[in-house]
Structure 1
């Protein structure tokens, strides 16, 4: 276990390397979905799958190795071996009840509050989205919607300003929280106010705006570890079998000009269910 000083130094170096809320990537990446403190799956991926890696968020909460997972992911980022996106669980909105703050206090003792504040500041600097080879959009939750319920652009995400510790900006919030639905347009999300389920028309218009082909995202728990939505315009990858997800078969995806999903352990090509209604 790293010392408090080592963790704080690591977080400061991550903040110093911040590249903004939208990043552009070139090349081939191994994309990893939600880990939620699943150190065993992370170690499996690092052993069996080549980098660089594209982490889609939700490193902490629910599993009991969130500290080890998030610090490992951040170290990979600093070494130039990974791109790291923010998930909805990289936020005090979730960490107080989700388990990460309690985990820090159990492992770090009386300095846990101080260290958690450093995590808060660091999470707020993580990118909301990445564009890979100009064709693939990676984010954690889903396509955000403007007030007129049309899809927001990546340029709008890039221009978001202000304190994002607990995101109040609706586009930032939705990027972390929205989910696809087997519908045409949109509907309010069971997750809560300000969150939306987006349908095929939204996905189609989003890709038309950006000349992109696929949105790869995490966020939605599916026992199979993956799902395909909207005729392949959206792909969900879930990589945790920790905590409440013990029956999950973790998946990863190879991302270049398209998205190919594989079983993390067997390396077999995955058969992902289509247009699942997770709610």
Structure 2
């Protein structure tokens, strides 16, 4: 395991990249859903699937090797071999009770509080979304909704400013937390206040605005490892088999101007269940 000094240096290098909150990418990527401390699955992806990688967030909490996962993912990022998006678990809202802070204290001792503050700053700097080849929008949670419940744009996400440690900005918060629902418009989320379930109309309007075809996301635990929503206009990929997710059949996706989901073990195209009601 890396030393405290090596971890602090790595986190500083991640922050120094300063890529902005919305990335515009070209090429083909291997997309990886939530890992939650599942270093064995991460290593399998790196051994068997091609770079560059697109990580959709949630590297820590729930599994017991979050430190190993997040540092390995960040190392790929600073080497230019991966794009690393923020998930809702890259936040003190989750890490205090979710396990990551305890893990740091167990593994790094009395300096864990100092190290966690460095992680907080780094998490707050991570991109929130990526536009791939002008056709696929990747993010962790879901399409954010304005006060009038119309979908926000990538341009609005690019303009987000202020302290994003928690984050306080409602659009940034929703990108990390929202989920699709098999509904037409929207509904309050069982996850809590300020979080929404977005329906087919929001997805259509979002794609119409950006001339895109697919939103690729993680965030939602699905035992089959993937799901298709809103006629395939939203795709969920889940990759972790750690902790409470040991029964997952993990999936990844190959992304260029479209999204093709693959079974991680069989290495064959996956059939994802459609219109899953995630709650």
Same fold (TM over 0.5): yes
In structure 2, how many angstroms separate the alpha carbons of the residues matched to 1:163 and 1:77?
23
Encode CA deviations 1:4-53: one digit per residue, 9 max, x unaligned: 00000000000001201000110000000000000000000000000100
In the alignment, which residue of structure 1 is the partner of 2:9?
9
Give, in angstroms, the shift of residue 278 of structure 1: 1.5
1:190 paired to 2:185: no
In the alignment, which residue of structure 1 is the partner of 2:64?
64
In the alignment, which residue of structure 1 is the partner of 2:265?
265
In the alignment, which residue of structure 1 is the partner of 2:229?
229
TM-score by length of 2: 1.00
Count of residue pairs the alignment pairs up: 279
In structure 1, how many angstroms separate the alpha carbons of the residues matched to 2:97 and 2:163?
21
Encode CA deviations 1:136-164: one digit per residue, 9 max, x unaligned: 00000000000000000000000000000
Secondary structure of the 1:14 match is: helix
1:121 paired to 2:121: yes
Give, in angstroms, the shift of residue 191 of structure 1: 0.2
Check conservation: 1:186, 1:197, Cα contact below 8 A: yes
Gaps of 5+ in 2: none
In structure 1, how many angstroms separate the alpha carbons of the residues matched to 2:25 and 2:4?
32
Give, in angstroms, the shift of residue 266 of structure 1: 1.5
Check conservation: 1:44, 1:265, Cα contact below 8 A: no
Secondary structure of the 2:201 match is: helix
1:53 paired to 2:47: no
Secondary structure of the 2:42 match is: helix
Encode CA deviations 1:86-128: one digit per residue, 9 max, x unaligned: 0000000000000000000000000000000000000000000
The CA RMSD over aligned residues, in Å, is 0.4
Encode CA deviations 1:182-209: one digit per residue, 9 max, x unaligned: 0000000000000000000000000000
In the alignment, which residue of structure 2 is the partner of 1:41?
41
Give, in angstroms, the shift of residue 265 of structure 1: 1.6
Superposition map of 1:1-279 within 5 A? 1-279=1-279
Check conservation: 1:86, 1:127, Cα contact below 8 A: yes
Secondary structure of the 1:168 match is: coil
Check conservation: 1:41, 1:240, Cα contact below 8 A: yes
Secondary structure of the 1:124 match is: helix
Gaps of 5+ in 1: none
In structure 1, how many angstroms separate the alpha carbons of the residues matched to 2:184 and 2:73?
36
Secondary structure of the 2:276 match is: coil
Check conservation: 1:34, 1:238, Cα contact below 8 A: yes
